[in-house]
DNA sequence: CATTTTTCTGCAAATTCTTGCAAGATAATT
DNA sequence: AATTATCTTGCAAGAATTTGCAGAAAAATG
């Protein structure tokens, strides 16, 4: 990794999280802490960040008191961390939008080389930041309620894809399957599951064993489910029986 | 392999991967690293790439790296204010991306009822916030350097549109016409101008009477030009002679 | 105030860069 | 066609950069 690249990555991480630890960056990028510290000092000299003992802060730190108002952000970050290892180089990956997916997009390792398909503007935006990821946007008409592309164009584009993974944030899952409450979104999600070899669903535990009005698919279409809880939690018994891997 | 050929190859690789190592190129093309380095330096002198220790980066990479705050934000806000009145209800409008366009998107009156087409993720995102605007995203493959959709898919989608207005942020304009420096972006912008009845170009005054390498169109294709200056400024004399309305 | 963590300093190894130079290729000129 | 000038490329040696490491200094923590 080139020095400039590394510093750009650091800057981006600081923009994203408002603060970072030298030690975290060190293990993340796989360079010594000295190097990170020198980078941070250089960036601080350039007035791009604020260097503090043990790490650095975003210059607009004051605004970070407003914090992001993402519900259960910590859980979602945890889920995101569990997904990342499943993504390998050269994969074709279909994803939905949703805050958990965004969180995932942000922590994808910088050297990952993959193609991401999505109909979500925020997700596409995040993927596009990444140095080695190819982004394909699916569809044309954008639904305001869900901030994703919907309609026949999106569906037909998705159908034309043979993806390795479908990574999907969901709203409700129970023994009968995955459900949602937006007709247009349902269509898109169904098409995505069809188009991918494996389907990974992401959900905070709170949504497990709940259901909504519209069915997306049965449990047999799901390969892996990821929540913030430990996989051994007894909440997942019935899902395991359906052959779903819990992470 | 000829020098020019080699440099074209290098440029293409950088466009493709956003970054390259001198050593990789050396083994790839089978010339000494010195030669690669000299090539990179030449390309950097021509402002086509960013040379860094150990290799080079795409120019766009650097701009997103510097990002911080918007250059001449005040001017751009002023320009945005001048555009808004030109947009009427029920219009079909093609727009590019760019910070000026984003600024415009933010101040669109809430009761405006129109359909916006764009290939820019940030622009689409802004439009999607608006209560009464319909957003159509153009294209699928997203170029990291420009953050817009590029390629045949985008072009053909644009060609299928008959829009009332094309509102375009530009990089350079002089007596010969509008120019830019990114081949893929050129294609998209050209298609947009073709597909729209009227073309409005937005530019900060600093860019007026400058030019870049690649031609988008002549002045006769432009209907209106908007800058932050007063329309009576003598900078615009020659443009007025070409029948362009200055605002 | 003792312990742990982080930072600073100097140093060494590896890599990359610069520079001058020479040989070959290409272009220009007579 | 011959000669001269210019360009291109590879090589080598010294300079500069980058990075990791070790030990001392400084800061944070309880």
The string of pLDDT tens digits covering residues A70-85 is 667 778 888 998 999 9
CA distances from A119 to A151, A152, A214 (A): 11, 12, 20
pLDDT band, residue A107 (cuts 50/70/90): confident
**Reduced to 3 states, what is the DSSP secondary structure of residue A144?**
coil
- pLDDT of A134 strictly over 70: yes
Residue window 113-132, chain B: list those with CB within 8 Å of chain A.
Answer: 121-122, 124-125, 127-128, 131
A6 close to B (CB below 8 A): no
Q: How far is the CA of A31 from the C1' of C11 (A)?
A: 19
Residue pLDDT, tens place only, B76-126: 889 999 999 999 999 999 999 888 999 899 889 888 999 999 999 989 988
Q: How far is A116 from chain B (nearest CA, A)?
A: 10
> How many Å lie between the alpha carbon of B22 and the closest alpha carbon of chain A?
11
> Between the CA atoms of A215, A220, A221 and A224, what dihedral angle is there, to the nearest 10 degrees?
110
Q: Which residue of A has its CA nearest to B151?
A: A136
Per-domain residue ranges for chain B? 3-66, 73-246
Q: Determine whether the distance from the CB of A35 to the nearest atom of strand D is below 7 Å.
A: yes
Give the per-residue pLDDT at B191: 94
Biggest CA-to-CA distance, chain B? 63
Within 8 A of B139 by CB-CB distance, chain A residues are 137
**Distance, CA of A30 to CA of A35 (rounded, Å):** 10
Residue B144: pLDDT over 90: no
CA distances from A137 to A48, A129, A234, B109, B200 (A): 32, 14, 38, 28, 27
Q: What three-state secondary structure class fits A118?
A: strand
- Tell me the range of A3-12, B46-55, B186-195 where mean pLDDT is highest: B186-195
Where is average pLDDT lowest: A6-20, A202-216, B148-162?
A: A6-20
Encode pLDDT of A44-75 as tens digits.
888 788 888 888 887 765 443 444 556 677 78
Q: Is residue A217 within 8 Å of residue A244, measured between CB atoms?
A: no
For residue A225, give the 3-state DSSP assignment: strand
Residue A139, chain B, CB below 8 Å: the answer is yes
What is the per-residue pLDDT for A67?
44
Q: Provide residues 60-119 of B with CB closer than 7 Å to any strand D atom.
A: none
Q: What is the dihedral of CA A137, A140, A142, A148, to 10 degrees?
A: -30
The reply to whether residue B128 touches residue A138, judged by beta carbons under 8 angstroms, is no
Distance A11 CA to C15 C1' (A): 25
Distance CA B154, CA B216 (A): 16
Task: Give the phi and the psi of residue B71 in degrees, each rounded to 5.
Answer: -70, 130
Burial of A45 (0-12, 13-18, 19+ CB in 10 A): exposed
CATH of region A73-246:
3.40.50.10470
Give the CATH number of domain B3-66. 1.10.10.10
Give the whole-angstrom CA distance, residue A165 versus residue A210: 24
Domain A3-65 listed as CATH 1.10.150.20 = no
Q: Sign of the CA dihedral B38, B41, B45, B50? A: positive
Question: What are the CA-CA distances from residue B88 to residues A144, A236, B114 (Å)?
Answer: 21, 55, 7
From A152, A218, A214, select the one nearest A182 (Cα to Cα). Answer: A214
Residues whose CB falls within 8 Å of the CB of residue B91, separated by 6 or more in sequence, listed in order? B114, B115, B164, B165
Across-strand partners of B50? B57
| Spatial separation of the C-alpha atoms in residues B50 and B59, rounded to whole Å | 6
Any strand D atom closer than 7 Å to A32 CB: yes
Of the candidates A8, A132, A140, which has its C-beta nearest B137's C-beta? A140
pLDDT digits (tens, 9 = 90+) for B170-219: 988 998 999 887 788 888 999 999 999 999 999 988 888 888 778 999 99
The Cα of B128 is separated from the nearest Cα of chain A by a number of Å equal to: 6
CB contact under 8 A, A142 and B124: yes
User: What residue spans of chain A are helical by DSSP H?
Assistant: 3-17, 22-29, 33-45, 73-83, 99-106, 121-129, 152-159, 183-195, 237-241
Judge whether residue A203 has pLDDT over 90: yes
Greatest Cα pair distance, chain A, in angstroms, is 57
Contacts of A60 in chain B (CB under 8 A): none
Q: Give the pLDDT of residue A61.
A: 52
Given a cut of 70, is residue B64 above it in pLDDT?
no
- Is the Cβ of A140 closer than 8 Å to some Cβ of chain B? yes
Instruction: Work out if A28's Cβ lies within 7 angstroms of strand C.
Output: no
Q: How far apart are CA B94 and CA A247, in angstroms?
A: 45
């Amino acid at each position: 990794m080139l020095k400039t690249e590394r510093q750009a990555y650091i800057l981006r991480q600081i923009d994203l999280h408002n603060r970072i630890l030298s030690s975290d960056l060190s293990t993340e990028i796989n360079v010594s802490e000295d190097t990170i510290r020198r980078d941070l000092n250089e960036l601080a000299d350039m007035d791009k960040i604020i260097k503090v003992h043990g790490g650095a802060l975003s210059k607009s730190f004051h605004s970070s008191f407003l914090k992001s108002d993402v519900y259960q952000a910590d859980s979602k970050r945890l889920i995101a961390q569990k997904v990342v290892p499943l993504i390998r180089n050269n994969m074709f990956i279909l994803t939905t939008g949703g805050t958990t997916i965004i969180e995932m997009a942000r922590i994808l390792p910088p050297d990952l080389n993959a193609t991401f398909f999505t109909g979500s503007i925020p997700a596409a935006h995040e993927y596009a930041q990444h140095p080695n990821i190819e982004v394909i946007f699916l569809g044309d008409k954008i639904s305001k309620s869900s901030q994703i592309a919907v309609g026949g164009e999106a569906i037909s584009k998705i159908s034309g894809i043979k993806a390795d993974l479908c990574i999907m944030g969901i709203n409700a899952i129970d023994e009968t399957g995955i459900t949602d409450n937006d007709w247009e979104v349902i269509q898109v999600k169904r098409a995505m599951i069809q188009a991918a070899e494996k389907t990974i669903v992401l959900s905070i535990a709170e949504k497990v064993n709940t259901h909504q009005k519209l069915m997306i698919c049965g449990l047999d279409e799901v390969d892996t489910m990821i929540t913030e809880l430990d996989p051994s939690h007894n909440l997942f018994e019935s899902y395991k029986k359906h052959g779903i891997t819990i992470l």
